[in-house]
Structure 1
Amino acid sequence: MVIHLRHRPEATEDLGTPLKNGSDGERIVNISPELRDFVVDYVDHNRHDVVD
C-alpha cells in the first residue's frame, strides 16, 4: 500500500499546510499493511464525512 503526497496549494489556502518543497516534495510513501488497516479503520469509524 502506498500514499501519494501531492502539492496542491489551491487546496491548502485555508489550512496553510502545503508541501515544504512544493512540487519537488511530491513523493510516494510505502506504508505497512498494519498502518493501512489502522487508517481504513479510522476513516470508517471516526472521520467526519467531508472533502476538501
Structure 2
Amino acid sequence: MTAAALAAVVLTVGVWVWLGWFVGLLLTLKAVAAVVLLGGDGDADEEPSAI
C-alpha cells in the first residue's frame, strides 16, 4: 500500500469517526464521485454530442 493510499484510508476513517458514519459516508461518496469525474478521460463529455 502506498503512502497516499494509506493517508486516504486514515483520513476517511478519521472523518467517519469525527463526523459520524452517515455524514462520513456522504462525504466519501462525494469525494469518490469527484475523483471519478475529474479523473475521467473525457468520454462523459463526448456522449451527449454523439446522440
TM-score, normalised by the number of residues in structure 1: 0.32
Q: Rg: which structure is higher?
A: 2
- Of Structure 1 and Structure 2, which has the larger fraction of its residues in helix? 2
The structure with higher relative contact order (CA 8 Å, sep 6+) is 1
